[in-house]
Structure 1
Amino acid sequence: MRAALCQIIATADPAANLDLVRAGVRQAAAEGAAVALFPEATMSCFGVPLGPVAEPLDGPWATAVHAVAEEAGVLVVAGMFTPDPSDRVRNTLLVTGRDHHLGYDKIHLYDAFGFAESRTVAPGDSVVTVDLDGLTLGIATCYDVRFPELFHALADKGATAVLLGASWGAGEGKREQWELLVRARALDSTSWVLACGQADPGIPSTAPTGIGYSLAADPMGRVHGQLGADPGMLLVDIDPDLVESTRKAIPVLANRRL
């Protein structure tokens, strides 16, 4: 299965960001991709009030992405914000197209490095996978990558690959942490981890906007491709046979005692 990691710079304008999704999906389909993965906060960047932009999964933004995905015959995964019954929102990865339309609400909120995501975002509590062309794909968001238990749970649900959307905050050592964590979670779960982040906007921000360097790691923790800081697309061919052989050689999931 071919996946396209669509590294973009989202703005505060959902309509403009929808145009970026349209362009990315069309390019991904032209390259033979079955999946187009976009970053966290594709609908709107962080650093602006999120309540006014939040929409349900049957709202106009998600519905428009669904139409784009269905027209292209591609499963699209893209970050958005959905309403919560509280005065906060949910940080949701929309998973749509190929007869799917659902969302994953980010479980682990980014209360770190001086940023308090939980102030405006309510956490999710459900592990989400989706089946496509005989493979099970797990879904995760940004700060989730620091929690191996989630990746174990996704593997336990049959995930061959985990699709991780991110808006990774800049800072000293953050690129090194990003790359190390993605590779470590691939090893932990003996799964592919496809990690698509926002590109670097080149403007200092206290909000997690993005650093780029989207990458794909295989079940052995090897990097199979990586972008730089600028917008771009990374094509990755997911090999399920490598997952099977790795889990036989390194049965960490079966050997767990805790």
Structure 2
Amino acid sequence: MRVAVCQLNSREDRARNLAVARDLLERAAAGGAKFAVLPEYVDFLGRSADAPKPEPVDGEFADFFAGAARELGLWVHAGSFHETGPDSGRTFNTTLLFAPDGERVAVYRKIHLYDVEIAGRVSYQESGTVAPGDRTVVAEVAGVPVGLSICYDLRFPELYRSLAIAGAKILVVPAAFMLHTGRDHWEVLLRARAIENQCYVLAAGQIGDHEPDRTCFGRSMIVDPWGTVVAQAPDIAGVTFADLDLDRLEKIRVEVPSLANRRM
């Protein structure tokens, strides 16, 4: 399966962000990809006060990417967006997966929220504006089981183990990973999730500066089940391709049977 990870610098202009995302999907399809992955908050990354009105999973955001998938004949993982939440003060951080006929085949809501309080340094409570999801999701893409996650989820290995146990052979990580943590942790964590679960990992990130005073690390990449980075994006918006060898995945699982040998 040929796949593509799309790297963006989404800002405050939603229409522009969506236009860039569509262009990258067109480039992915033209490059022979069957499955393309976009980053977290693909349609808007900026000040909360300027964020677009949250939408349901069948709103304008979904219509846009369903149309792109259908017109391009492409499996599309639409990064994530602000979904209407459980109350007036919180949204869900939600990813949607579309089949080449435009059908929405999966919805995943980010489970782990970034809450941190370090005296004199940083105070951030994602849970103040975002509600957590409550279920894991594995969906089939062209017959291959794919486990869904979003950004901060990457730091919680038990989530990915549960996806692997549920049959996932590909793990998808759309993200807006911060520069100061990304340069030390991004690749290490992605390779660890690939190795311990013997899965391919497709990680699509935001790149560059965003309001308010935020810089994302980028370095979108595709990692094989051995933990080898088989493709990595340069530090610009663009599309990065790789061909997944699912026979190699099965061979790795036979020769190093850590999933089969687990006791918990």
Q: Please say whether Structure 1 and Structure 2 have the same fold, judged by a TM-score greater than 0.5.
A: yes
Q: For residues 19-43 of structure 1, what are the alpha-carbon distances to aligned partners after superposition, in whole Å with 9 as ceiling and x for unaligned? A: 1121011111101111111100102
1:197-235 per-position Cα deviation (integer Å, ceiling 9, x unaligned) = 00112x68455x521111111111111011122212110
Any residues of structure 2 matched to 1:1-258 within 5 Å, and which?
1-49=1-49, 52-77=52-77, 78-86=79-87, 87-99=89-101, 100-101=103-104, 102-112=106-116, 114-171=123-180, 173-201=181-209, 205-207=212-214, 209-258=215-264
Rounded Cα–Cα distance in structure 1 between residues aligned with 2:20 and 2:34: 18
TM-score, normalised via structure 1 length: 0.93
Give the Å deviation of 1:50.
7.2
- 15-24 vs 42-51, greater mean Cα deviation: 42-51
Cα distance in 2 for partners of 1:7, 1:116 equals 26
CA contact (8 A) 2:45 2:211 kept: no
CA positional deviation for 1:108: 0.8
Select between 123-132 and 179-188 the one with higher mean Cα deviation: 123-132
The secondary structure found in structure 1 opposite 2:187 is helix
Task: Give the AA of the match of 1:225.
Answer: A
Deviates more, 1:42-51 or 1:31-40: 42-51
Going from structure 1 to structure 2, the CA distance change for 1:108 and 1:46 (only over 3 Å counts) comes to: farther
Contact kept, 8 Å, 1:4 with 1:233, in 2: the verdict is: yes
Q: Secondary structure at the match of 2:48?
A: coil
- The answer (yes or no) to whether the contact 1:74–1:98 under 8 Å persists in 2 is yes
Query: Residue type of the partner of 1:98?
Result: P
Q: Which runs of 5+ in 1 are unaligned?
A: none
* 8 Å CA contact retained: 1:54, 1:83: yes
Listed one character per residue, the Cα deviations across residues 3-33 of structure 1 (whole Å, up to 9, x for unaligned) are: 1111011112322211112101111110111
Contact 1:17–1:42 (CA under 8 A) maintained in structure 2: yes
Deviates more, 1:111-120 or 1:153-162: 111-120
Taking a change above 3 Å as real, the CA distance of residues 244 and 71 of structure 1, as seen in their structure-2 partners, is same
Q: What are the ranges of 5 or more consecutive residues in structure 2 without an aligned counterpart?
A: 117-121
Look up the SS of the partner of 1:131 in the other structure: strand
User: Secondary structure of 1:84's match?
Assistant: strand
- C-alpha displacement of 1:53: 2.7
Whether the 8 Å contact between 1:151 and 1:188 is mirrored in structure 2 is no
Question: Which digits, 9 at most, give the CA deviation of each residue in 1:87-137, with x for residues without a partner?
Answer: 200001121232441321001112246432111100001111221222111
Instruction: For residue 90 of structure 1, give the secondary structure of its aligned residue in structure 2.
Output: strand
Q: How many residues align?
A: 255
What CA distance in whole angstroms lies between the structure 2 residues aligned with 1:36 and 1:56?
Answer: 22
Q: CA RMSD in A?
A: 1.8
The 8 Å contact of residues 95 and 109 in structure 2, kept in 1 or not, is answered as: yes
Query: Would the alpha carbon gap of residues 96 and 50 (structure 1) be closer, same or farther in structure 2, given more than 3 Å must change?
Result: farther
Distance 2:39 2:3 in 1: 14
Structure 1 counterpart of 2:179, which letter?
A: A
- Point out 4+ residue stretches in structure 1 off by more than 3 angstroms: 49-52, 203-207
How far apart, in 2, do the equivalents of 1:197 and 1:151 lie? 18
Distance 1:63-1:74 versus aligned 2 partners, 3 A rule: same
Give how far 1:257 is off: 2.0
